[in-house]
Amino acid sequence: MPLVFAAATNHGPGITARRDTAPPEEVTPFFEGWERLHQRMEAANLDALVMISSDHIQNLYMDNMPAFIIGLGDSFPGPTEDEHFLKIPKTIIPGVPDLAASIADEVMETIDLAYSGELALDHGFMVPLHFLTPAYDVPVIPFIVNCMFPPYPKLGRSYELGRALRRAIDKQSQRIGLLGTGGLSHWPAAPLSGKVAVDWDKDFLEAMVANRREDLTRYSDAEIERDGGPGGHEIRSWIAVAGACEGSGGKLDFYTALPSFAIGGAVVEMAVA
């Protein structure tokens, strides 16, 4: 069955860790937006969710840093972080190994992937899942894109990963959704933490909604670092979702600066027709 749902949003750990101490007037629009996303994902009646995120030095280290890696496990523990810090109890997220292997096999017609049977899920996966599939009853196929250490995969390769994923997903019989997480501008664990580059975020979102490949992939790594912060490299997850929806645009549900969570927050849902 063709891809039935595609969206991109954030995953900053402050979303859960600092929820109780953030000013309600600042963060309520974000949580209302995520509740709408939750409702739309539930309505999509997914058999599986392919998630694309960065890894935050939880699975992958400098001794071996793949550009793209898929989790083929039958389950994934998470969160890797301290549960009292993240305020998400540790649990086990179900996988769907046969489907993941089938998708990986097709993706590898055009994109070489690393794979693992033992990925654990950090906040990049667990923070969105905590709100969007709160019963953790939708099996997850995790994809990690290296957004942490250069040399990074080129933005155009993230777009191509998305195109390959779409081809692979469309060949399956299950109802599959795609969710990219990360970004937008942020300076995590840095002196500028809390800064949000609103204009940079809006510029990217405008290109995302229009699904203009040339604009989405035009940034150099140095420009991302300077204008969107080290966390801005996570636009690679969003760009992969755009690649999966090549030829279609999207809809910006909301954008809001969230200095308390140290991110520019947004949801974009892409058309999958």
CB-nearer residue toward Fe ion: 72 or 144: 144
The mark string for 181-200 relative to Fe ion (x by CB under 5 A, - otherwise) is -x------------------
Which residues pair with residue 140 across a beta bridge?
49
CB-nearer residue toward Fe ion: 153 or 182: 182
Q: What are the φ and ψ backbone dihedral angles of 119, each rounded to 5 degrees?
A: -65, 145
CB-nearer residue toward Fe ion: 54 or 146: 54
List the end-to-end C-alpha distance of the chain, in Å, as a whole number.
12
The rounded distance, in Å, linking the Cα atoms of 107 and 120 is 22
Report the nearest approach of Fe ion to the CB of residue 171 (Å).
30
CB-nearer residue toward Fe ion: 139 or 182: 182
Report the nearest approach of Fe ion to the CB of residue 13 (Å).
8
Asked if 146 is part of the footprint of Fe ion (rule: CB under 5 A), the reply reads: no
Mapped onto helix, strand or coil, the DSSP state of residue 9 is strand
Report the nearest approach of Fe ion to the CB of residue 56 (Å).
6
Report the nearest approach of Fe ion to the CB of residue 69 (Å).
15
Number of residues lying near Fe ion (CB under 5 A): 2
Contact call for residues 244 and 154 (beta carbons, < 8 A): no
The rounded distance, in Å, linking the Cα atoms of 52 and 124 is 9
Residue nearest to Fe ion (CB): 54
Scan residues 53-82 and list those touching Fe ion (CB under 5 A): 54
Select from 46-54, 168-176, 192-200, 211-219 the region that touches Fe ion (CB under 5 A): 46-54
Residue identified by tokens 């490949």 is 213
The rounded distance, in Å, linking the Cα atoms of 257 and 25 is 12
Structural tokens at position 135: 């019963």
CB-nearer residue toward Fe ion: 192 or 271: 192
Report the nearest approach of Fe ion to the CB of residue 55 (Å).
9
Report the nearest approach of Fe ion to the CB of residue 271 (Å).
26
Select from 14-22, 33-41, 79-87, 175-183 the region that touches Fe ion (CB under 5 A): 175-183
Residue 21's CB is within 10 A of a number of other CB atoms, namely 9
The rounded distance, in Å, linking the Cα atoms of 263 and 194 is 7
Residue 219: partners with Cβ closer than 8 Å, 6 or more residues away: 155, 227, 228, 235
* Torsion sign over Cα 28, 34, 38, 40: positive
CB-nearer residue toward Fe ion: 10 or 176: 10
Report the nearest approach of Fe ion to the CB of residue 233 (Å).
9
Q: Which residues are near Fe ion by CB under 5 A? A: 54, 182
